[in-house]
Amino acid sequence: MSPNRNYRYYDLIMAAFVTVLLCSNLIGVHKVSSVNLPFYGEYIYGAGVLFFPLSYLFGDVLTEVYGYARSRKVIWAGFGALIFASLMAFSVTYLPSAATMSPERQQAIELIFGQTPRIVMASLLAFWIGEFINSFVLAKLKIITSGKFLWLRTIGSTIFGEIADSAIFYPVAFFGVWSNEQLISVMIGNYFINVLWEVLATPFTYIFVNFLKRAESEDFYDRDTDFNPFTLETN
């Protein structure tokens, strides 16, 4: 893969990836919701899980079409965006309020945007490790399957990536804050929703991937790729 090659849609997918990542982490992380399912009862999940799996879908598409190295750059872009968003949220939340601003309004801002250091650390660690595992597994499976069975690669990589993501984020962020019952319920509930989301999105993934491969004239195989996550080399 030439590091100087220009792609028509790569930058747009990167922007979509980062947008989904920021919105799901800033908007959906605090809200816990539930739904009553037949034969099961109350199913508890974090609201952000309805949108966060889109980041894994974009990650799958990036690795499948452009390769691990270019996906790695996008993961680092998302990681940097999360750091900046966390620093901005912290700064804005804890700046002194003007006398014209009501205490209730300040409390609402702190409730919505006042992420604790634990949540920030949990988000960063879970995202970084989960996304790199997802991309690595998909790249390796593509070689093993000789480019066949796209569904196996996307679902299989999500299974491993989401295990790492869920197992890191919820205990680091909420252990001792939530009850153990809620922590385990949300962690398991979100994991299965994320994987199910990937399964249901598989037909659309096929359409998206096939379109990009034709439009970009690219279908990269990571046979000689350096999988070191700490480099930004694309060749």
Mean pLDDT of 24-35: 77
Query: Is pLDDT above 60 for 2?
Result: no
pLDDT tens-digit map of 79-101? 999 999 889 888 888 888 888 88
The architecture of the domain spanning 10-216 is Orthogonal Bundle (1.10)
pLDDT tens-digit map of 124-175? 999 999 999 999 999 999 999 999 999 999 999 999 999 999 999 989 988 9
Do 195 and 155 meet the contact criterion of CB atoms below 8 Å apart? yes
DSSP state letter for 192: H
For residue 202, report the phi and psi dihedrals to the nearest 5 degrees: -55, -45
At position 232, the amino acid (one-letter code) is: L
- In this structure, what token pair is assigned to residue 181? 């019952």
Nearest alpha carbon to residue 24 among 169, 151, 154, 134: 169
pLDDT tens-digit map of 192-233? 888 999 999 999 999 999 999 999 999 999 999 999 999 988
Helix count and strand count (H, E) for the chain = 8, 2
| CA–CA distance, 176 with 12 (Å, rounded to integer) | 40
Q: Which residue has the higher pLDDT, 93 or 65?
A: 65
CA–centroid distance for 112 within its chain = 20
Q: Residue 111: exposed, middle, or buried by beta-carbon count in 10 A (0-12, 13-18, 19+)?
A: exposed
- pTM for the structure as a whole: 0.89
